[in-house]
Amino acid sequence: MRTTFDLPDDLMKRAKIAAVRRGSTLRDLVAEALRKLLADQGQPQRRRMDQAPIKLPAGHTIPVRSNAEIAQLFEQEDVAHLNDVYRGR
């Protein structure tokens, strides 16, 4: 896949020199570097939220809704009701 990047001049120069020294192309050098970087990172650990990301007024809670319930509200195009549900109305 053809892609265009804007890289700092000094980084590009170093990459070209490294590719020549290795006897490879710049394309192969960048592809290998990306493969190594992505392999080293692994999958991020997902954590379930156990607290609201914002401070809620005392006594106010966010109702728990399943994905199916939320999808049903969207299918009904009742976004106003969905907003009311999450605002505790």
SS3 of 31-82:
HHHHHHHHHHHCCCCCCCCCCCCCCCCCCCCCCCCCHHHHHHHHHCCCHHHH
**Ranges of each domain in the chain:** 9-41, 61-89
User: What tens-digit pLDDT sequence spans the chain (89 residues)?
Assistant: 888 989 999 999 999 999 999 999 999 999 999 999 888 777 767 777 777 677 777 887 777 888 888 888 777 766 666 677 667 66
Q: What is the pTM of this model?
A: 0.46
